[in-house]
Structure 1
């Protein structure tokens, strides 16, 4: 699961150049995804801080809780490491960091814009004589995926597609047996468990920053809530059902979402489904290098507006995916980032009709020199996503 040392060496070289451009002496990584990206250390984020010092010149330094020392060794993390005993600690994590940095020349230190005000205050009190400067240096490096990362996303895509198949099969089996259909929460447990089991069956050591597999399941009127959580409502014949699933190999995420119809679709269901499928197809094809996120988003959502469904649009076309399931860039009108080869994006327009149902189809799409390439491949046509119990 660990990427080769050459990957981290390249990352370090590119980060050094980015820091030089910004007149920064180093970067202090505090987010699990940034730490994993920069040195390959995956850990459980708790109240105990982890600090990774990445100097513009010289060797990195990792400050971790003592209880994570063995875990870092298991992951073959090779950077210099110092530890503190506990949180809040007689000697705090920030004081441990300050001691380790003493004698190292640093006056301007880059930090992530997502660092909390409280964390910045603790650092300012402990690490004196420096300026903490929010920077996008690491975020920009993560915008485009390295060649070594793509196979991990591809592996996650295969698992994610299989999770969709497992969810569909659970419902189809119940229909074939004539038994009651699963509840939303039961279906969610089933697909998440399937994805998790696959991960541990396929890989000897599983690491992640947030989760291995996850999913949202909602049916009928509940599916009209884009971020609704699974309930104890039992799925019923005639329902529109959204399976919104994700999986991550070495914390390289993929999402694959499909809308299913339980039984023969009505005219209304066909109308909404086909409009969303068309928008997703057009929007995916628009993910071309050189276009902006805003342009792609408008191209996609204008399809739904053209079908007279503008009032049922509740969110953007998509977002970036990487070491986090949601990260920059944002495929939305307000993001003018220019797409470049190596960017990994979700394409997931949705139609949400209150009191009726929601319709969303999502693929994880890699921007390439020759055009967009879907990593997820589960069927998108309506007939393939009608669930019936015929054996």
Structure 2
């Protein structure tokens, strides 16, 4: 699950060029995803900050808590590792960073990402009193298009995520065949997350992540009309519409694979809503072409739902970017005019949510290429293939 030195060399070279274009003397990153993307350091996130300095002169310094120093070195972090003992400390981590750079009073133009907290920025300004701090989106811009090695990791995660869907379905089918009570939403969620996590530790000798290895939202019947509702103790029932909304990450390169199932023979109403969601997803996925804007792709997909007379049941956009973060730019939404480019990875997940009845969502992780969109997740998506027979 380790990326090569060549990967980090390319990424850091691209960053250096962007810093020079922006006339910044350096950049400070602190978000775990940015730190991992730029240096290969994955760590347990807590109150102790990690800062990475990228100087326009080529200097790379990673300031980490002392208790993480050995782990950082073991990961082969692509920066000069410096440490501070504890947080908040007699001397703050930000002052330790200034000491490491010998630049506490340098008149420098320093970029920082929008993920830096207000308190963190204030502490950095105290430690670098003569510097000018400017918000910069340079790292986010770099992360929009994935390197070939990253795409390979996304493909591996997609295969695991599809298998998680199969594991959730198998749990329900085993209960049916053995005449047991059907599982609760929470039991299915625990099962699929455990399956995905176990696969990671079976398939890879060294597992790293920024937030999680596998995740699952499971909702059935009326609960499925709440797009981000958490799994409950409600037991799945015959006739339910069931959404398995699952995610997995290899080396923190995420995918999403979500499917809508029906427990038993679908009603005409279930077939109608399912068909609307599936058509919207097919249209949205096909529209993910190089040169299209996120806004136009989103509108084309959601117009399918509106055209079917279901506009009042739209609760969210078509999708979002996926990378080292499960949700990241660009956003497939009316307000994002980002132009799609080869190497972007996006979710395609329009939904139809009918209060008191059910929700219907099919989601794939899609790679934008010069030859058109490629679905990385491949689990069957038709209603015939996703009926769980009683």
Q: TM (normalized to structure 1)?
A: 0.98
CA contact (8 A) 2:40 2:78 kept: no
- Equivalent residue number for residue 298 of structure 1: 299
* Aligned equivalents of 2:359, 2:298: Cα separation in 1: 19
- Equivalent residue number for residue 206 of structure 1: 207
1:58, CA displacement in angstroms?
A: 2.2
Residues 268-313 of structure 1 deviation map (CA, whole Å, 9 limit, x = unaligned): 0000001100110011000000000000000000001111000000
Change in 2 beyond 3 A, CA 1:78/1:280: closer
Residues 293-350 of structure 1 deviation map (CA, whole Å, 9 limit, x = unaligned): 0000000000011110000000000000000000000000000000000000000000
CA contact (8 A) 2:298 2:317 kept: yes
Residues 222-279 of structure 1 deviation map (CA, whole Å, 9 limit, x = unaligned): 0000110000000001000000000000000000000000000000000000110011
- Equivalent residue number for residue 262 of structure 1: 263
* Aligned equivalents of 1:223, 1:253: Cα separation in 2: 23
- Equivalent residue number for residue 21 of structure 1: 21
CA contact (8 A) 2:8 2:78 kept: no
What is the CA RMSD across the aligned residues, in angstroms? 1.0
Residues 88-135 of structure 1 deviation map (CA, whole Å, 9 limit, x = unaligned): 111221110010111596611110012111111111111221111101
- Equivalent residue number for residue 65 of structure 1: 65
Give the 3-state SS of the residue equivalent to 1:368 in structure 2: coil
- Equivalent residue number for residue 8 of structure 1: 8
Unaligned ranges ≥5, structure 2: none
- Equivalent residue number for residue 108 of structure 2: 107
- Equivalent residue number for residue 34 of structure 1: 34
Give the 3-state SS of the residue equivalent to 1:215 in structure 2: strand
1:220 and 2:221 aligned: yes
* Aligned equivalents of 2:168, 2:303: Cα separation in 1: 31
Q: Where does 1:306-345 land on structure 2 (aligned, <5 Å)?
A: 306-345=307-346
- Equivalent residue number for residue 197 of structure 2: 196
CA contact (8 A) 1:25 1:106 kept: no
1:78, CA displacement in angstroms?
A: 4.1
- Equivalent residue number for residue 158 of structure 1: 159
1:284 and 2:270 aligned: no
* Aligned equivalents of 1:325, 1:315: Cα separation in 2: 16
Residues 198-235 of structure 1 deviation map (CA, whole Å, 9 limit, x = unaligned): 00000001000000000100000000001100000000
* Aligned equivalents of 1:103, 1:237: Cα separation in 2: 66
1:41, CA displacement in angstroms?
A: 0.3
- Equivalent residue number for residue 348 of structure 2: 347
Q: Where does 1:157-176 land on structure 2 (aligned, <5 Å)?
A: 157-176=158-177
* Aligned equivalents of 2:58, 2:293: Cα separation in 1: 37
Number of equivalenced pairs:
389
- Equivalent residue number for residue 140 of structure 2: 139
CA contact (8 A) 1:262 1:386 kept: yes
- Equivalent residue number for residue 252 of structure 1: 253
* Aligned equivalents of 2:232, 2:254: Cα separation in 1: 25
* Aligned equivalents of 2:354, 2:110: Cα separation in 1: 48
* Aligned equivalents of 2:302, 2:350: Cα separation in 1: 7
- Equivalent residue number for residue 180 of structure 1: 181
Q: Where does 1:75-94 land on structure 2 (aligned, <5 Å)?
A: 75-94=75-94
Q: Where does 1:371-382 land on structure 2 (aligned, <5 Å)?
A: 371-382=372-383
CA contact (8 A) 2:344 2:367 kept: yes
CA contact (8 A) 2:280 2:304 kept: yes
Residues 51-70 of structure 1 deviation map (CA, whole Å, 9 limit, x = unaligned): 00011122200000000011
- Equivalent residue number for residue 51 of structure 1: 51
* Aligned equivalents of 1:331, 1:356: Cα separation in 2: 27
CA contact (8 A) 1:26 1:106 kept: no
- Equivalent residue number for residue 370 of structure 1: 371
Following superposition, which runs of at least 4 residues in structure 1 exceed 3 angstroms of deviation?
Answer: 103-106
